[in-house]
Chains A and B, each alone.
Chain A
C-alpha cells in the first residue's frame, strides 16, 4: 500500500482517476437494492413480460432525458447541487437545498437496511443456519411458540433481528446487536468516503463489480435448481391485459425514476468532478441502459430461486398429504408417489370418502405457491433466506447473497453521501481549513447518531415511513422543478449551446422535445397520480403482533395522528425549500431595487465557468 499521490487539480477541484471510475460510480449509484427486490416483483404482479413495455417507454421519455440533464448540469457548472442551482438562478437555489435535504434523509435510513444485511451476513457462518431451526422454549418441552406458529425464518427476522414491537408507538429498547452492526456499517461508509471521490473511486471498483459476479453465480446455480423453469415461465409470460390498468404505467414510471436515483444531487456531484469536455450524452444513455439491463438480469436468478422455493413448497405439501394417507390407510411405504397422487386421491375419495374428509388434507396447488409475491425486505430476508436453506451448501450461498446485497447498497450509499458532502464542501460557511477527513467524519457520526432511532424495536416501521414519504414524493417535485428550471429559466437554447461545447455536437430533436415538453408533462402526470393514490388509500401499516388472533398474519393498523404529522413533514420539508428560497431572494431583490447602486449579476455561461 502506498500513500495516495497528489491528485492533479486544475482549479483546485478533485478529479476522477479515469473515466471508467466515473461511469462505474454512476452505475453503482443507480443500481441498488431496488433492482433486485422491486423490479422482479413489479414484473410479476403486472403481467410478466408485458410490464417491459411501459417500463421501456418510461425509460426513453423520462429516465434518459432527466439523467442526461443532471449529468450535463453537474459537468458544466462543476459544483454540487446547492452551488449548481444557485448559479443557474438564485431563485432556483431552493431546488439544490431540497436535493441536499433528501440526500440527508435517505442516508439516515438507507444504512440501516445495510445494517440488517450485515447482521445476516455475520450470522451466515454458522452450521446450521440460525434461521433454519426454531429454538426451544423455556422449559424445553417444545419449540418456541412464536416460532412454531409462524416459521423459523419469520421468527429470526422479526424477533432475533428486529425484535419488533407490535405497534409503531411502542418504541421498545435499543437492540445492542443492531447498534454494533450500524456502527460497523457507518465505519465502512466513512472508510470509503473519507476523502470524497479519491477514496470512493477506488472502493467503487469492488462494490460496483461484485454484484454482477455474484448475480452470475446465482444465475448458473438458480437455473440448475428444480422448479426454476416454472418460476421463469411465470415471471416472463406476458399478460397484455394488465396494460389497461393505469396503475401499471404509474408503477413503471416511478420505478424508472427511483431506480436511476435522480434528484438526489449525487449524480450532479459525481459529474461535477469530470473534465468539462466530456461526452455526457453518451454517459447518460450508457448508465440508463446498464441500469435497466441489470434489473432484467437480476430478475432471472431471483425468479429461478423463487420458482425453486414454490416447487419445494408444493412437494412438501404433497408429501405431507401422502404421509397422512399412508398412515391412515396403513398402506405400504412408497405406494403413493407424487406422480400417482391424484389417481390415488380419486380412488380413495370414491371408496372411503368419510376417511379422506376426516384427514383434512390441504389442497396443494403450484400456482398458489408461485402467486405468493413479495418485494422489499420480505423478499431478501424471508423468502430468499428460506430458499437458501434448501440449497446444498447453504452457508456459502447465504454469504454470497448478503455480500451482493451489501455491495449494491454500499455503492448507492456512496452517491447519497457524495450528494451531502460535495455541497457542504463548497459552502463558504465551512472554512477551507477543515480537512476533508474531519468533515466526512462529522457527517458520518451525526448520521450514525440519528440512525440509532432505527435500531429501536419499532425501527423497521419508521424506516417504512421514511422510505414511503421522504424517499418518494419530494424527488418527483425536485425533478419537475429541475426540468422546468433548465428548460424555461436557464432556457434550452443556452443549455444546448453548453452541451454542444462539452460534447462537440448539438443535442438532437429527441432531447429538445423531451426536455421541453414530454418530460415535464410526464412528471406532472406521475406526481398528480402518485399523490392521488397516496391520499385515497388510508395510511395503514402491517404490524407483527404475536398476540394477534390471526397470527401469523400481520395485523393491519392505522397510523396515529402524530405519526401522520411526521409523514407529512418528511414529504413536505424538502419541497418547502423551493418556494422559500425563491421568496427569500425576491425579498432581497425588492429591497436592493430600492437601493440605487444596483449592479445586475453577470450572465452565466458554461464556458466561462472554468475561468
Chain B
C-alpha cells in the first residue's frame, strides 16, 4: 500500500516537473520587481508569497469561467530565481494531468489583472506576465482644452487694453480740439485781450512752460563780443 502511494506520488511529481518547466507548453513566465516598486517597504519573496500567488491565479481562473473548479494545488510554480521570476502552469484536474490552454489562462489573468496587482502592492510594470500585454488606459481628456481657456483670458486682456488706449487717444484729441476752438471763440469775441506771440499766449511764455529755441540760446560764440 505504502509502495503504491510512493509510486503514485513520484509519478505525479515527475509529471508536475514535466508540466512546469521553462518554455513548457501553456506555461507563463512571471517577473516581479518588488524593490523597484516598494523601495524600503519591500517584502521578501518566500513560500507564503508563492502560496498567495497560487491562490490569486486560482481565484482568477474561477472568476473567469464560473464552472471552473481550479484548486490552489492546480497551480504549479517552478524555477524561482533571485530576480524574483518564475514559471507557472495551471493544470486541469478533471482531465488527467494536462494543462489549461494558455488562451484561457491569459484571458482570466487579463480580466483580474488589477486584483492580482493590488494583492502584491505592485503595478502592471512591476508584476510582469511576459506573454500578456496590458491594455493601455486612455488619456484623460478634459471637456474644454485647457489651452483655449488660458488663451481666451490673454486675448480678452489685450483687446481691453487696445480699446482703452484708442478711446483715451480719441478723448484726448477731442479735448485738444475743444480747447483750441474755445480760444478762437474768445479771440473773436475780443472779451479777453490775450496777447499772443506766434499763436502762444504770452502768459504761458512768462511761466516755466515756455519753450527755449535751442538755435539761438546755445552758442554764445556766435555773437561777436563787444
Residues on A lying within 8 angstroms of B by beta carbon are: 1, 3-4, 6, 10, 119, 122-123, 125-126, 133, 135-136, 140-143, 180-181, 184, 187-188, 190-191, 194-195, 199, 276, 326-327, 330-334, 435, 437, 607-608, 610-611
Contacts and interface: CB of A to CB of B under 8 A. Distances in A.
A362 B35 CA distance: 25
Contacts of A140: 136, 138
Nearest to B163: A191
24 contacts: A3-B171, A3-B172, A4-B168, A6-B172, A122-B150, A123-B147, A126-B147, A180-B151, A181-B151, A184-B151, A184-B155, A187-B159, A188-B158, A190-B162, A191-B158, A191-B161, A194-B166, A195-B165, A327-B85, A330-B81, A330-B83, A333-B34, A437-B166, A611-B214
Contact of A10 (B35, B139, B169, B214): B214
Contacts of A194: 162, 165-166, 169
Q: Which 8 A-B pairs have the closest CB atoms?
A: A330-B81, A332-B82, A330-B83, A611-B215, A122-B147, A333-B35, A122-B150, A187-B158
B136 A330 contact: no
Contact of B211 (A10, A126, A184): A10
B85 A184 contact: no
A573 B84 CA distance: 72
A140 B133 CA distance: 13
B117 interface: no
Nearest to A121: B150
Contacts of A331: 82-83
Contacts of A142: 136
Grouping DSSP codes into helix (H, G, I), strand (E, B) and loop, the B interface class, with mixed when no group exceeds half, is: helix
A435 B158 contact: no
B165 A199 contact: yes
B164 interface: yes
Contacts of B213: 611
Nearest to A128: B139
Contacts of A435: 169, 173
B63 interface: no
B25 interface: no
A567 B160 CA distance: 40
Contact of A136 (B81, B138, B214, B218): B138
Contacts, number: 90
B4 interface: no
Nearest to B42: A333
A191 B164 CA distance: 10
B146 interface: yes
A327 B31 contact: yes
Interface residues of B, number: 37
Given A4-B168, A122-B147, A126-B147, A184 B154 contact: yes
Contacts of A122: 147, 150-151, 154
Contacts of B165: 191, 194-195, 199, 437
A479 B206 CA distance: 47
Given A4-B168, A435-B169, A133 B139 contact: yes
Interface string B14-56: 0000000000000000010111100000000000000000000
A431 B102 CA distance: 87
Given A123-B147, A326-B83, A610-B214, 11 more contacts: A3-B168, A3-B171, A135-B139, A141-B136, A184-B154, A184-B155, A327-B31, A331-B82, A333-B84, A435-B173, A607-B219
Contacts of A191: 158, 161-162, 165
B158 A334 contact: no
Nearest to A328: B83
A125 B147 contact: yes
B35 A437 contact: no
Nearest to B167: A3
B147 A437 contact: no
Interface centre among A141, A191, A194, A332 (most CB of B within 10 A): A191
Given A123-B147, A187-B162, A334 B168 contact: no
B136 A136 contact: yes
Given A122-B154, A333-B35, A327 B147 contact: no
A435 B166 CA distance: 10
A119 B150 CA distance: 10
A109 to B, nearest CB: 21
Contact of B155 (A126, A133, A187, A611): A187
Interface in B108-142: 136, 138-139
B150 A125 contact: yes
A610 B136 contact: no
A437 B161 CA distance: 13
Nearest to A608: B215
Contacts of A610: 214-215
A5 B156 CA distance: 26
Nearest to A329: B83
A6 B172 CA distance: 9
Contacts of A10: 211, 214
A334 B147 contact: no
A418 B219 CA distance: 33
